[in-house]
Chains A and B, each alone.
Chain A
Amino acid sequence: MSEPLLSIRDLTISIQEESQKRILLEGFDLTVMPLQIVALVGLSGSGKTTVALSVMRLLSEAFSVEKGKILFKNENLLEQEPERMRQLRGKEIGIVFQEPLNAFNPVFSIGFQIGEVLKAHIPLPSRAAENRIHQLIEMVGIREPKRIAHSYPHQLSGGLRQRAMIAQAIAAGPSLLIADEPTSNLDVTLQAHIMELFQQLKERLKISLLLITHDLGMVGHLADEVGILLGGRIVESGPTREVLYNPQHAFTRELMEALGT
């Protein structure tokens, strides 16, 4: 098999709280191979979002990386210059946030904000960029790309916004997409649609997906590999089938029981 796309090795992150340090992630390991969907499952507060933000190098100054490496295409992201990081964000690694209403700037139209990503990474003449924006919106399964492109974030429903956000994340053609609880604010039918969309995008765009969630149902449907996170440590990981049908760790079993499967 080929080289891993993203490989996080022994990552330890702490946060400075008043006078003491609190460890958020300890000895965290994770590998995402090309064209793989890897799920990271854990309770809230277990450090899932910290993983996503540390890959993007968007953690604020209060956080510090104690040790470890984040290798993306054999480049250690933790050692990159800010300008190189800026180029990687969006262009190589895309991210979909949990709450799409907050992730869009309320004063610009959806089309404009997707166009912005294009402008930052692949400059196109304005006509071509417009076509590309419509194409992207269509690609995430929205039927009226022109109308949506001219709409403002508050005018769209939650499902449309989430799709628009995915369109924005894939605009510059990243090879890795990080989705941080992409469906937790949506109802069940929409969750199913979004899952289907991720599956399609993976095949169409040849991208890998790091899915951060607490929804084991989604994991079972989508993920090739899964890692179970508890209190900042990976307690169990492996191919989805094995982990979900033959859980070794007590916490995984608890999770499965909570689901009632």
Chain B
Amino acid sequence: MIKTQEKSLSPFSLALRKVKRNRMAALCGMTLIGLYAAAIFADFLSPYSFRNEDRGYSYCPPMQIHLVDEDGQWGLFVYGYRFTFDEFHRRVYQVDKAQKYPLRFFIKGDEYKFLGISLSRFHLFGVGPEGRIHLWGADSRGRDLFSRILYGSRVSLSIGLVAVFISFSIGLLVGGVAGYYGGTIDNLLMRLCEMVMIVPGFYLMLALRAAFPENLSSLQIYMLIVVIFSFIGWASLARIIRGMSISLKEREYVWAAKALGLSDGAIIIKHILPHTLSYSMIAIMLSIPGYILGESALSLLGLGIQDPYASWGNLLSEAMGILHIQFAPWILLPGFFIFLTVMCFNVMGDALRDALDPMFKEGKL
């Protein structure tokens, strides 16, 4: 007997297949996976900890990795800098070929907890204690920008996911319950949604942040931002899910589920909400960038993550002021990463929409 397909593909894996076929989306997906992996292993990949500073390297420009030195000797190394002051007492760095620091791998450096479990001192690369390596330059206090961007990605990348998870859980639940039960419950929940929605998001965010004490630990601030975002984000989703749930509850399989004695909770969770998934998946993908930008905006204004802790937003806050940008353009790099992440999520969201839309014909775009 000829064996046909053993297991049937679920609609989701079919959609995933389509997303993979879209090259742009696949590229963005890989980029995101790369960024998230880098965030997870940030302390191992970075040569320094986020608070390791050396004032001697203030605004030090990016260093180049060289392969061959003056005498034709091979090996990976960086040259050190020496600096002079210009007429505004700013440092002008010049490559000093006399200082040569070989690049070493799995070098011992600042201590950190690997994956939050085991203490470790090993870093992927670095130079010996006699010099410093700043691949993407350093900030005003001589902290390595490469390391700080890596550490900052932890906050910036995770905040979107956590906030989206919480706000969408609330949105789905409220929308599902409101639509399924209808009547007074529906009325109450929807009026509540509208009350949250009439306040402009960014100002609500500022006001909520202002309502809490200023001197919080960075973890507390992180949690606070997540809560604020979730509080703002759930309402619009809840309204749409409610509409879908009203039409879905009239489907025969919902009746059938009722006739088979399933509880209301099980019906909402299993037979109504999954059918809103194609919409909510897209909405999730497209709303993550909003949360990332929101965190950046808060931190840029100094209301979010506080120095010395890093997030892409507060790294960028150093780049406020045209003089700094002129003098040390590399401090804009976190902005590039915000841009890259936001763009990737948007492309992925669009690709997912095309993949989940049954009316979409290939080559139509």
- Choose among A58, A104, A107 the residue that contacts B259 (Cβ–Cβ < 8 A): A58
Task: Give 8 CB contacts A-B under 8 Å.
Answer: A89-B259, A89-B260, A97-B256, A105-B257, A107-B277, A120-B260, A152-B10, A168-B256
Known: A116-B266, A120-B266, A150-B8. A90 touches B252 (CB 8 A): no
Contact between chains at A86 and B261 (CB < 8 Å): yes
Q: A91-B261, A150-B7 are in contact. Are A103 and B253 (CB under 8 A)?
A: yes
Which residues of B220-279 have CB atoms within 8 Å of chain A's CB atoms? 251-253, 255-263, 266, 270-271, 274-275, 277
A86 B8 Cβ-Cβ under 8 A: no
User: Is chain B's interface secondary structure helix, strand, loop, or mixed overall?
Assistant: helix
| Cβ distance B53 to chain A, nearest Cβ, rounded Å | 54
**For residue A89, which residues in chain B have a CB less than 8 angstroms away from its CB?**
258-261
Chain B residues packing against A (C-beta within 8 Å): 7-8, 10-11, 251-253, 255-263, 266, 270-271, 274-275, 277
| A71 close to chain B: CB less than 8 A | no
Give Cα A150–Cα B10 distance, bound, in whole angstroms: 10
Given A86-B263, A107-B274: A58 and B258 interface contact (C-beta under 8 Å) = yes
A117, B253: Cβ atoms closer than 8 Å: no
| Cβ of A8 under 8 Å from chain B | no
Q: Is the CB of A90 within 8 A of B253?
A: no
Residues of A within 8 A of B270 (CB): 105, 108, 116
B106 vs chain A, min Cβ distance (A): 45
Q: Which chain A positions have C-beta within 8 A of B8?
A: 109, 150-152, 155
Please determine whether A105 and B253 come into contact, CB atoms closer than 8 angstroms.
yes
Complex interface bits, A158-179 against B, C-beta within 8 A gives 1, otherwise 0: 0000000000110110000000
Chain A's interface size range is 20 to 34
Interface contact A95-B253, CB-CB below 8 Å: no
User: A residues touching B (Cβ–Cβ < 8 Å)?
Assistant: 56, 58, 86-91, 94-95, 97, 99, 102-109, 116-117, 119-121, 150-152, 155, 168-169, 171-172
Q: Which residues of B contact A90 (CB under 8 A)?
A: 259-262
CA distance A97 to B256 in the complex (A): 8
Contact B253 A121 (CB under 8 A): no
A103 touches B256 (CB 8 A): yes
- C-alpha gap A223/B359 in the complex (Å): 47
Is there contact, CB below 8 Å, between B252 and A103?
A: yes
Chain A contacts of B10 at CB under 8 A? 107, 152
What is the bound-complex CA distance between A107 and B257, given in angstroms? 14
Contacts of A91 in B (CB 8 A): 261
CA distance A253 to B255 in the complex (A): 36
Residues of B within 8 A of A171 (CB): 260
Name the residue on B nearest A89 (C-beta): B261
User: Given the complex, which residues of A lie within 8 Å of B11, measured CB to CB?
Assistant: 107
**Chain A residues with CB below 8 A from B258, complex form:** 56, 58, 89
**Of B258, B260, B275, most A-chain CB atoms within 10 Å:** B260
